[in-house]
Amino acid sequence: MIAIVQRVSRAEVRVGAEVVGRIDKGVLLLVGVERGDSEADAEVLARKLVALRIFPGRTPMDLTLKDANGACLVVSQFTLAGSIRKGNRPSFDRAEDPALAQSLYQSVADRIAADGIPVACGRFAAHMDVELVNDGPVTFIIQTCGGALAGH
């Protein structure tokens, strides 16, 4: 599973003219589900996001999302599982089947909400317009593999 975390002063997602998710201060979480990802990956991703100390307090990176009274806007983004290594057209061979991807994406959102953080979501598999004000800018990548943190 791969996710982009952006600290925001506000963010919203629209499908057509309808706003389907909106938050003020918090994080925008773009989630890509890759083949082989499991509930363990969803748990690791949610747990890491909730524990990240990326909001200013005594230091510029001191408080968690909950400490800062922030919210989380979770948006599915299958293109994160894409590869542009060969040729000029992205390959999405690593992207999970939509039915399983939707279940795992929703599991991430549910696990974050279970920690007491207000959660709004995009609409899975829809063409969405995402608008955000990146605060900082602060952006991180979280990758999981087999239920453990990977990469960065």
Spell out the SS3 assignment of 64-118.
CCCCCCCEEEEEECHHHHCECCCCCCCECCCECCHHHHHHHHHHHHHHHHHCCCC
Q: What angle do CA 10, 12, 17 make, to 5 degrees?
A: 145
User: CA-to-CA distance for 113 and 46, rounded, in angstroms?
Assistant: 9
Contact 142, 151 (CB under 8 A): no
Identify the CATH number of the domain defined by range 2-150. Answer: 3.50.80.10
According to the model, what pLDDT value does residue 147 have? 87
For each of the chain's 152 residues, which pLDDT tens digit applies? 999 999 999 999 999 999 999 999 999 999 999 999 999 999 999 999 999 999 999 999 999 999 999 999 999 999 999 999 999 999 999 999 999 999 999 999 999 999 999 999 999 999 999 999 999 999 999 999 988 998 65
According to the model, what pLDDT value does residue 152 have? 55
As annotated, the active-site residues are 77-79
According to the model, what pLDDT value does residue 73 have? 98
According to the model, what pLDDT value does residue 151 have? 66
Helix (H/G/I), strand (E/B), else coil: 30? strand
Of the candidates 50, 44, 43, the residue with the CA atom closest to the CA atom of residue 67: 50
* Reported pTM: 0.96
User: CA-to-CA distance for 46 and 63, rounded, in angstroms?
Assistant: 16
